[in-house]
């Protein structure tokens, strides 16, 4: 019954937000802010209208499908041929590893009783950024194109880079719990990554080739052009899982091949992302507010708050600043890029997958409390600050 009520309420919220979405955006109120708030409002800590178990089937299925789509769409909407790699490559291959390392070290200082491997897991869960939480940052033309695209590219690729490392850490934890051989987890991760990447690439390439031929001969109805991408993503996922690879990695690589095979195919994916995909993402934010906040709020102590604030500020900004040394960017730009590293949908979905697979909230409350609070703060702080800071930054660049 509770799950049926949740579905009904989600439908009502989607309708309500749809009717007033433009009006809300004028007040810097984003979709993730609305859906997260509604989730909290109907949860046991507020009106207590709905109580959904974190391992409920609706939660698991939504998380899996949403993560498939996110990884696929992030990869497919990036035009690798036109990317200017100078800033993004620094953010991804210097800034991202430093962020994970710094976060793990500081976490051990703040939470000395927690195992290092779990603190690394926490750092990985919080590593991906979500440009959509500060949408104005990547859409407002007051921000220079190279800065907009760099933030967008970082957000689009860092979840795909982090995920193989994440499954490696999860495999280490699982192997430790099962007392298997020390090399078992390494072989498992290697198989997952390699098979996932190969299957995803094959599925993406074959379907890209077939889609282009079908579209060029006008054999596909217009309505199906935007539905084909999600079918390809799910196909890649299940084929990879069947042969022993990781389905999420397969979805990422299939998107990478599909989106970079043909501009028209990439446009179809972008159309899908702007409509059907957006709905699933917003529902995921509602589940986050409904399920994770009530389950972790009692563990939000001073240490949890401290680390969450550090995660959104210095633990992100210092690695970004180090990675951008030598680019001749001014301090304002470095701070702007450093601040707009929101934690959002990828972190939420990674957490849901990890909880479902291996680690329950009851045994590692602090880890999940930190992740939940960091994401919650990011949803509102980055959402509210996006337009004002974009205006301020744009004005500064215009004056210069």
More confident position, 56 or 156: 156
Q: Could you tell me the pLDDT band of residue 400, with boundaries at 50, 70 and 90?
A: low
- The two three-digit tokens of residue 201, written as one number: 């690439």
- 221-235, 243-257, 324-338: least confidently modelled range: 221-235
Cα–Cα distances in angstroms (integers) from residue 395 to residues 15, 142, 144, 347, in the given order = 36, 8, 11, 32
CATH topology of domain 2-399: Na+/H+ antiporter like fold (1.20.1530)
- The two three-digit tokens of residue 54, written as one number: 């974190």
pLDDT digit string (tens) for 13-27?
Answer: 878 877 877 777 777
Which among 164, 364, 161, 378 is positioned nearest to 288, based on CA atoms? 378
Q: Could you tell me the pLDDT band of residue 399, with boundaries at 50, 70 and 90?
A: low
Tell me what the mean pLDDT of segment 232-247 comes to. Answer: 91
pLDDT digit string (tens) for 348-393?
Answer: 989 888 887 667 777 788 999 999 999 999 999 999 999 899 988 8
- H-helix or E-strand containing 17? helix 2-26
Map residue 170 onto helix, strand or coil. helix
Of the ranges 66-75, 137-146, 249-258, 329-338, the best mean pLDDT one: 329-338
Which among 370, 395, 400, 384 is positioned nearest to 307, based on CA atoms? 370
* Rounded-to-10 torsion of CA 196, 202, 206, 208: 60
Q: Which long-range contacts (CB under 8 A, 24 or more apart) does 59-66 make?
A: 59/287, 59/291, 59/352, 60/352, 60/356, 62/280, 62/283, 62/284, 62/287, 63/284, 63/287, 63/349, 63/352, 63/353, 63/356, 64/353, 65/234, 65/280, 66/280, 66/281, 66/283, 66/284, 66/345, 66/349
pTM, two decimal places: 0.89
- 71-80, 172-181, 334-343: least confidently modelled range: 172-181
SS (H, E, C) 204-263: HHHHHHHHHHHHHCCCCCHHHHCCHHHHHHHHHHHHHHHCCCCHHHHHHHHHHHHHCCCH
- pLDDT at site 197: 92
Q: Helical H runs in 27-95?
A: 31-42, 57-76, 86-90
Q: Could you tell me the pLDDT band of residue 1, with boundaries at 50, 70 and 90?
A: very low
- pLDDT at site 181: 52
Task: Tell me how far apart the alpha carbons of residues 46 and 91 are, in angstroms, rounded to a whole number.
Answer: 40
Torsion sign over Cα 132, 137, 140, 144: negative
Task: Tell me how far apart the alpha carbons of residues 306 and 315 are, in angstroms, rounded to a whole number.
Answer: 12
- pLDDT at site 93: 93
- H-helix or E-strand containing 300? none
pLDDT digit string (tens) for 294-331?
Answer: 999 999 999 999 999 999 999 999 999 999 999 989 99
Map residue 71 onto helix, strand or coil. helix
Q: Do the beta carbons of residue 386 and residue 137 sit within 8 Å?
A: yes
Which among 16, 77, 5 is positioned nearest to 277, based on CA atoms? 77
Tell me what the mean pLDDT of segment 110-135 comes to. Answer: 91
- Report how far Cα 87 is from the mean position of its chain's Cα atoms: 20
Which among 331, 308, 324, 318 is positioned nearest to 379, based on CA atoms? 308
- pLDDT at site 126: 96
Give percent of the chain above pLDDT 70.
88
- pLDDT at site 241: 92
Domain coordinates of the chain in residue numbers? 2-399
Cα–Cα distances in angstroms (integers) from residue 35 to residues 5, 100, 396, in the given order = 16, 29, 33
Does position 224 have pLDDT exceeding 70, yes or no? no
Tell me the HSE value of 237 on the side-chain side, using a 13 A CA sphere: 17
Mean pLDDT of the chain: 85
Helices (H) and strands (E) in the chain, counts: 20, 0
Residue in this structure with the two tokens 């009717």, named with its chain if needed: 19
């Amino acid at each position: 019954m509770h799950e049926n009520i949740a579905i009904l309420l989600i439908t009502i919220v989607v309708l309500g937000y749809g009717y007033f979405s433009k009006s809300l955006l004028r007040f810097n109120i984003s979709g993730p802010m609305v859906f997260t708030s509604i989730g909290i409002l109907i949860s046991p800590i507020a009106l207590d209208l709905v109580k959904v178990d974190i391992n409920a089937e609706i939660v698991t299925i939504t998380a899996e499908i949403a993560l498939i789509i996110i990884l696929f769409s992030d990869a497919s909407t990036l035009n690798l041929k036109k990317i200017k790699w100078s800033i993004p490559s620094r953010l991804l291959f210097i800034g991202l590893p430093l962020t994970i390392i710094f976060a793990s070290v500081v976490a051990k200082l703040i939470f000395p009783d927690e195992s290092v491997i779990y603190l690394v897991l926490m750092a990985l869960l919080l590593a991906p950024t979500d440009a959509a939480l500060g949408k104005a940052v990547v859409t407002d033309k007051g921000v220079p194109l190279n800065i907009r695209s760099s933030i967008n590219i970082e957000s689009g690729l860092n979840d795909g880079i982090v995920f193989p490392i994440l499954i490696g850490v999860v495999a280490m934890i699982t192997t430790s719990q099962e007392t298997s051989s020390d090399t078992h987890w390494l072989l498992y991760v290697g198989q997952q990554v390699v098979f996932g990447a190969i299957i995803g690439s094959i599925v993406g390439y074959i379907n890209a080739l077939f889609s282009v031929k079908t579209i060029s001969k006008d054999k596909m109805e217009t309505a199906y052009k935007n539905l084909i991408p999600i079918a390809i993503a799910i196909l890649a996922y299940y084929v990879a899982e069947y042969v022993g690879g990781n389905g999420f990695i397969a979805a990422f690589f299939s998107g990478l091949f599909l989106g970079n095979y043909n501009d028209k195919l990439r446009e179809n994916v972008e159309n899908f992302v702007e409509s059907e995909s957006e709905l699933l993402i917003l529902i995921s934010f509602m589940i986050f507010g409904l399920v994770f906040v009530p389950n972790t709020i009692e563990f939000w102590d001073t240490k949890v708050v401290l680390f969450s604030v550090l995660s959104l500020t210095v633990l992100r900004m210092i690695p970004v600043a180090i990675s951008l040394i030598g680019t001749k960017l001014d301090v304002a730009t470095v701070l702007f890029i450093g601040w707009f590293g929101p934690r959002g949908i990828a972190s939420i979905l990674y957490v849901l997958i990890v909880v479902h697979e291996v680690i329950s909230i009851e045994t590692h409350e602090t880890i999940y409390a930190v992740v939940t609070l960091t994401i919650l703060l990011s949803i509102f702080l980055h959402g509210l600050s996006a337009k004002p800071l974009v205006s301020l930054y744009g004005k500064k660049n215009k004056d210069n």
